[in-house]
A and B are shown apart, each in its own frame.
Chain A
Amino acid sequence: MVSKTSRRAFLGTIGGLAVGVLAACQQAPAPAAKPAESKPAEAPKPTAAPAAQAPAQQAPAIVPPTAAAKPAEAAKPAEAPKPAAPAADAKPTAAPAPAAKMSPKRGGELRIVQINDFVSMDPIHASGPTATSVYESLFAWRPNAQGTYGVEPMLAKSWDLGTDKLVIKLRENVKFHDGSDFNADAVVWNISRMVQNPKSFARNYLPQVDKEKPAQAIDPLTVQINMTRPSAAILSSLSDSISNTLIVSKAAAEKNGEEWLKLNPVGTGPFKFVSFASGDRLAVEKNPNYWQMGEDGKPLPYADKATYRVIIEASTQFTEMRAGTADWISNVRGRDVAAAKAIPHATYIESAFTGVKRQYFFNAIKPPFQDNLKLRLAIHHAIDREAMAKALGAGLGIPLPYELVPGSIGYDTSVPFYEYNPDKAKQLLAESGVTLPFEVRLTAHNREADQQQAQFIQGMLEKVGIKINLDIVERVAWGEKVRINNDFEMATRQSGVVTDPSQDLLITWAEGGNSAYHRAKVPGLLDTLQKADTEYDEKKRHQLFVEAQKLMHESAWFGYMWFENGNFLVHKRIQGFPAGWGSLREAEWWINE
């Protein structure tokens, strides 16, 4: 009863609290106390498909891809294009330079922080981050000694890529975490569900696989994947640069049902699943029976545990890094880069792998842009890419007038683009026949960066006499308006970097149906893109992609603005961080403390 309450009691409580707080303040937060794990979840892309790219500070390195050596060389010089990163650039700015060659120490917990929440532990349903350290792919996407990226063995020991099939010899003595064998049977089951499950996202990356009979087992350790056409991209699609094609335990699915897989990942990877709390964290621990050996001859991984913590608020994850309670974060914003570089216990690494391309496009089947080339050109000429990259990228941005990024196969400065020329823009606008002042609705996401960019575009177009009405909508509403209902005039989007241009271009430029965006019909473009995929000769591929970009340019449906580099911050106690494409390779990290 309140009657006993007195001022003394209250003051006592306050006093007690004050003492408690003061005492708390004396201790620095223990780093181990909060497991903070990060995953390379690239915000925009459902699958991590980073490009090897020189950091923004250096001139974009354009090195024509070279064929990487493949074990078990096949007659065809097959190979997915490897956006080559010159050796020097394989380690972008401020990469951790291992002073002396230290031997890896074992033990400890990796605290990774990721900015996007997990969607599903089952890779084919993962339109966002998934438990990539629990699984593995058939191939690994790695740079060779010269720094050129290519496919290397992982669960596949050797392979033979033909024009209508891909035959893979599997690694022996690999087991899934549930004890079942990794064999051809399991792989066939995996490939089948990748292309046959109606909700699978892996289908987007395997359009060339025969849906009727995707794969068959030749013998317990040999798999044949049936293709409907030759495809250079198939190898990289099945590599660890694409998280949807990770290999899952068939036995686990049969025992518990496929639904169970969505919350319980069972793979062959270096870490085993411990627990998952959506919106909070994923906890994994080391797989004692992992097949890959470390430098000391014992199985990887070096670390004992790893925790992936979800922190969606950018400033919070950055603060965690500064406080020293996180080992890895990504997507530090441009304005925070200076502060990031100043963190004494962290290393700042830029990587185009997780960068985003920023583009806009018009609605090709509705007015006002349908049939009005001059109007589209007017807008293209009114965009000042340099100013955008500088103002919006805040040090992380480079202007990019093409679809493909430097380092990618097909990137070529001979491809034409529309230069910034406001006078020409005004003239074209006048010639386009629309009534002035002309109003256009621009549909953009409500992400901070997109909003900023949209307003920037608004300001630029206003200078040439076009009034932009901003339609800022949240992600789902954007998807509905633009892709499902085709209810837009002009829209912006950001797109991740893929290992092979055919992986996303065939989808983006689909004339309808698929992830349709602008739904333009550009004669010859899809054929060219398809030819580029079926062509195994590097030089010819490059030319075909150049050709495709020229066609895209002439059609003027897409506007290419700028490219924002991705970045990571890695705690200095972490050694062995690869800073490369493909998966994070947490198995190779070790803690130096």
Chain B
Amino acid sequence: MREYILRRLVSMVPVLFIVSLISFALLYVLPGDPAIAMLGENAGTQETYRNLRREMGLDDPLVVQYGRWLWRTVNGDLGKSIRTGEQVADVLARRVPTSMTVGLAGLLFGIVLGLSVAIVSALRPGSKIDMIGTFMALGGAALPSFWQALLFMYVFAVMLHWLPPSGYTSPLVDPWLSAKMLFMPAVVLGTHSAAVIMRQGRSALVEVLEQDYITTARSKGLRENAVVGAHALKNAMIPIATILGLQVGNLVSGAAIVETIFAIPGVGRAAVDAIFFRDYPMLQGAILILTFAAIIANLLTDLAYGYLDPRIRYR
């Protein structure tokens, strides 16, 4: 097992390397450069532009620029944001906990909603409840996230005045306010996960509940709760666990839109801004973090899978 984990961690390195190459290449293929981005629409002269370029090292060959970045990163220096001059590491250190909190909140919501609907539906398949539940869960994933976000904001913040429209506060600073601010983003982020979890959970549960050993447990006179809880869910969790890791990946990348609308200073938005501003160091840093998170989530999921299903053994 430990060997397996080690091997997976080691294989992460080439993946991260390739990812950094991809994002570097992406920025170069994009028209324009950070110097133009800095110039703004009306200001600046050709001379300013050329000076900026030279100072940013943009006139050096690509390989050199990438090499410079790689060398510094490997030595622990993620560089400075071209746009603001902040240390990339500082910016990320600030934004990662934010994104993680929002992502976890979304995942939590997705699990809770998805599983509850799955359980309810699986217990009464084909019924109206099943239909409504299925429709609700899947419907949530059938709307673009920005649309959901705007609708929620309109309903909860403008019409009802129940929740603050936007912003982020750490739960460690003010848990109550934090929860209020996290609610809408978590729901929007979580509905897509909820749909997947619900589908998977429902079909897994339905299958499991049909099994002979369930019938046996029932005929033994065990209470329904024990039956469902102890036996069915445990086994149904296995395929569900598989997708959870997947959902982290989706949460991570889908968060950019939620962060934009709810004015949450997260890593996803930082990456998007970095693309639009051609902020190479910032983008590289943000992408590395996001990718790292996705890979680790996958690893954890696989480990959980192996833990839950005694038949799976990792070499």
B41 touches A44 (CB 8 A): yes
If the complex has contacts A198-B51, A477-B32, are A515 and B234 also in contact, measured as CB distance less than 8 A?
A: no
Interface segment, one of A116-124, A152-160, A292-300, A409-417: A116-124
- Of residues 210 through 249 on chain B, the ones whose CB sits less than 8 Å from some CB of chain A are 225-226, 228-230, 233-234, 237
A9 to B44, CA, bound (A): 62
B225: chain A residues at CB < 8 Å are: 6-8
A34 within 8 A of B: yes
B166 within 8 A of A: yes
B66 within 8 A of A: no
A253 within 8 A of B: no
If the complex has contacts A25-B162, A323-B157, are A8 and B229 also in contact, measured as CB distance less than 8 A?
A: yes
B85 touches A20 (CB 8 A): no
B106 within 8 A of A: no
B63 within 8 A of A: no
B12 within 8 A of A: no
Closest A residue, CB atoms, query B109: A17
A-B Cβ contacts below 8 A, count:
205
A476 to B41, CA, bound (A): 9
A204 touches B45 (CB 8 A): yes
Quick one: which of B38, B163, B166 contacts A24, CB cutoff 8 A? B163
Interface segment, one of A162-170, A230-238, A307-315: A307-315
B24 within 8 A of A: no
B233 touches A2 (CB 8 A): yes
Interface string of B28-48 (1 = CB under 8 A from A): 001111001111111111111
B112 within 8 A of A: yes
B30: chain A residues at CB < 8 Å are: 476-477
B174 touches A10 (CB 8 A): no
Quick one: which of B46, B83, B177 contacts A513, CB cutoff 8 A? B46
- Classify chain A: how many residues form its interface, as a range: 35 or more
- Of residues 541 through 558 on chain A, the ones whose CB sits less than 8 Å from some CB of chain B are none
B51 touches A199 (CB 8 A): yes
A419 within 8 A of B: no
A14: chain B residues at CB < 8 Å are: 112, 116
B234: chain A residues at CB < 8 Å are: 2-3, 5
A479 within 8 A of B: yes
- Of residues 318 through 357 on chain A, the ones whose CB sits less than 8 Å from some CB of chain B are 319-320, 322-323, 325
Report the minimum CB–CB distance from B118 to chain A (whole Å).
10
A476 touches B32 (CB 8 A): yes
- Of residues 172 through 212 on chain A, the ones whose CB sits less than 8 Å from some CB of chain B are 198-201, 203-204
A311 to B40, CA, bound (A): 19
Interface string of A228-263 (1 = CB under 8 A from B): 000000000000000000000000000000010011
A99 within 8 A of B: no
Report the minimum CB–CB distance from B168 to chain A (whole Å).
8
B157 touches A319 (CB 8 A): yes
B81: chain A residues at CB < 8 Å are: 278
Interface segment, one of B137-145, B191-199, B258-266, B291-299: B258-266
A262 to B161, CA, bound (A): 38
Quick one: which of B160, B265, B277 contacts A280, CB cutoff 8 A? B265
A46 within 8 A of B: yes
A386 within 8 A of B: no
A118: chain B residues at CB < 8 Å are: 84
B31 touches A11 (CB 8 A): no
A10 touches B116 (CB 8 A): yes
B180 touches A24 (CB 8 A): yes
B100 within 8 A of A: no
B42 touches A515 (CB 8 A): yes
A118 to B269, CA, bound (A): 15
B115: chain A residues at CB < 8 Å are: 10
5 sampled A-B residue pairs with Cβ under 8 A? A6-B228, A28-B162, A128-B40, A203-B48, A279-B273
The 5 A-B residue pairs with the shortest CB-CB distance, nearest first, are: A6-B229, A127-B40, A476-B32, A480-B32, A280-B265
